[in-house]
Amino acid sequence: MAIKLVKEFQQNQQLSITPQLKKSIDLLQLSRLEIIKKINNEIEENPFLIKDYDNQSSRTFDDMDILNNLSSELTLQNHLKNQLDDLKLTASEKKIALFIIQSLEENGLLKIDLDEIEELMGFTFSVNEVKSVLNHIIQDLEPAGVGARDFKETIFIQLKRQEIPSEELEIANKILFDPQFYDFEDAKEKLEVYYSTKAIENVLKKIKQCDLSPGLGFESAIMIHPDLEIVPQNDEQFNVQFKRENFPIISLDQDLEKLVKDRTNKASKELKEKMGEAKWLIRAINKRNETVQSVGTLICQKQADFLSEKSAELKPLSNLELAKELKISPSTVSRILRSKYIQTPKGALSMKSLLASSVSKTRKVTPSQLMEEIQKIVEEEKKKLSDQKISDLLNKRGFNLARRTISKYRKKINLPSSRDR
């Protein structure tokens, strides 16, 4: 049998990331403080980069000591842990409490599901034990509102802490959690049949004064610097602008560029590379800022009712939806959302916290909305309804939900099964 050597050509596609593309991706996920620090470092290392003082804000954020020595002591987690030491907790309660504290977002909210905490803790403690610690220990700590699962819950916790009249607390509970109300105006109109207009207006005023990010107060002086700010135009519209104040504006040193381009000077290859890197960095930072503004603007447009204080409910919104509308990659959106904040009428909010997942593929329904719907059905049931029956009722209204989804969210609001009700 003869052995032959044969040449074969095979065509295939392969995605390769160039060094510059990788650096562009890295820039996208930097927080405002991190990118300011990077810009300042690049100015020191690259002679072609200069600060454009003519267009710079008079209050330039240029304190490298602050940037290099970010405080790690006065954090929300440390503050909450110190409070635990003053409470008489069992070993189990303290272990659960510490795990919950470590799971909190920067704004103080708990976005991870309780059954996930149960799983992550190796099923050592039940969901009910985790929920008990959350409700009776974590949510009683300062600042008021930490440990809430969403914005509505953090508002209600703060109102309860204010010890407002029982009637006002009852009104607040209905405004925040009754699924029949579309927004604040709708709630006010329908509740005026049962309560005085003055009482309802008092509650709405107090709701709007609540802090939606109670955890940011501990690091805002040093750590939290929003990239964007909402500038109200009128009652119906507002602009989302990139915050130029305290952000270094860089440009290319034109004189040095001319010297390098002058062939008689015979500039070195390394110097030419530095000039190319400087040009790329300027373009990349501008692109980063434009993309941050585009994503932030779209989020604010989608959540306009929430941000303009017409509603306490976020509309369902996902990374994928933002990516499709902006015609960019979902991974780009994810990187943009990392450690980015918007200065809103409700205070500094992380862009990520303004997203809300939908539990239904055919209808935009947030987990909190679904739990409220389940709660309402159970409260109004004449005959004990199983999870499948509840699923059927909701699916007739276009929810398209499986029985296990109903079971999952029924357990989250601590409702027993039909057999135990």
Token pair, residue 11, equals 């065509």
Which of 151-155, 177-181, 224-228 ranks highest by mean pLDDT? 151-155
Q: Are residues 210 and 233 in the same domain?
A: no
The whole-number average pLDDT for the span 248-254 is 90
**How many domains in the chain?**
3
Share of the chain above pLDDT 90, in %: 38
In this predicted model, what pLDDT tens digit does every residue of 72-120 receive, in sequence order? 456 888 889 989 988 889 999 999 999 999 999 888 999 888 888 998 8
pLDDT of residue 7: 67
- Which domain range does residue 383 map to? 367-412
The Cα–Cα gap between 377 and 301 comes to 32
pLDDT of residue 9: 65
Q: Give the pLDDT confidence score for residue 66 in this predicted structure.
A: 41
91-103 helix and 127-136 helix, angle to the nearest 10 degrees:
80
- What is the structure's pLDDT at 147? 95
pLDDT for residue 411: 79
Same domain, 142 and 207: yes
Between 17-31, 50-64, 332-346, the lowest mean confidence (pLDDT) is in 50-64
**Is there a domain that residue 111 lies in?**
yes
The mean pLDDT of 273-297, rounded to a whole number, is 92
In angstroms, the Cα distances linking 168 to 164, 187, 206, 210, 397 are 6, 14, 10, 15, 32
The C-alpha atoms of residue 259 and residue 228 are separated, in whole angstroms, by 38
The reply to whether 362 falls in a domain is no
Please report whether residue 180 resides in a domain: yes
Same domain for 306 and 349? yes
Is 104 found in the same domain as 54?
Answer: no
Q: What is the pLDDT of residue 65?
A: 44
Q: Is the peptide bond preceding residue 248 cis, with omega within 30 degrees of 0?
A: no
Q: Are residues 242 and 319 in the same domain?
A: yes
Please tell me the least confidently modeled range out of 135-149, 172-186, 332-346, 370-384. Answer: 370-384
- Is 149 a member of any domain? yes
pTM, 2 dp: 0.71
pLDDT(207) > 90: yes
pLDDT of residue 369: 80
Overall average pLDDT of the 373-383 stretch: 83
Residue 421 counted as domain residue: no
* 228 and 209 in a common domain: no
Q: What is the mean pLDDT of the chain?
A: 84
Q: Please write the tens of the pLDDT for every residue from 37-75.
A: 999 999 999 998 998 765 555 444 444 444 444 444 568
Span 250-269, mean pLDDT?
Answer: 80
**Whether 129 and 210 share a structural domain:** yes
Please say which residue of 148, 182, 215 terminates a domain: 215
Of 192, 215, 238, which marks where a domain is finished?
215
What is the predicted pLDDT for the residue at 115?
Answer: 85
User: How large is the average pLDDT for residues 122-130?
Assistant: 91
The two three-digit tokens of residue 316, written as one number: 């369902």
Four-point Cα dihedral 76, 78, 84, 90, nearest 10: 110
The residue behind tokens 């690049």 is: 42
- At residue 83, the pLDDT reads 92
**pLDDT of amino acid 264:** 72
Q: Tell me, what's the pLDDT at 119?
A: 87
Mean pLDDT of the region 201-213: 93
Same domain, 316 and 248: yes
Asked if residue 364 has pLDDT above 90, the reply is no
What would the 3-class secondary structure string for the chain be? Answer: CCCCCCCCCCCCCCCCCCHHHHHHHHHHCCCHHHHHHHHHHHHHHCCCEEECHHHCCCCCCCCHHHHHCCCCCCCHHHHHHHHHCCCCCCHHHHHHHHHHHHHCCCCCCCCCCHHHHHHHCCCCCCHHHHHHHHHHCHHHCCCCCCCCCCHHHHHHHHHHHCCCCHHHHHHHHHHHHCCCCCCHHHHHHHHCCCCCHHHHHHHHHHHHHCCCCHHHHHCCCCCCCCCEEEEECCCCCEEEEECCCCCCCEEECHHHHHHHHCHHHCCCHHHHHHHHHHHHHHHHHHHHHHHHHHHHHHHHHHCHHHHCCCCCCCCCECHHHHHHHHCCCHHHHHHHHCCCEEEECCEEEEHHHHCECCCCCCCCCCHHHHHHHHHHHHHHCCCCCCHHHHHHHHHHCCCCCCHHHHHHHHHHCCCCCCCCC
Q: Do 195 and 288 share a domain, yes or no? A: no
Q: At residue 382, does pLDDT exceed 50?
A: yes
Same domain, 93 and 178: yes
Question: Percent of the chain at pLDDT above 70?
Answer: 87
Q: What is the pLDDT of residue 63?
A: 44
Please report the pLDDT score of residue 142 as a whole number.
92
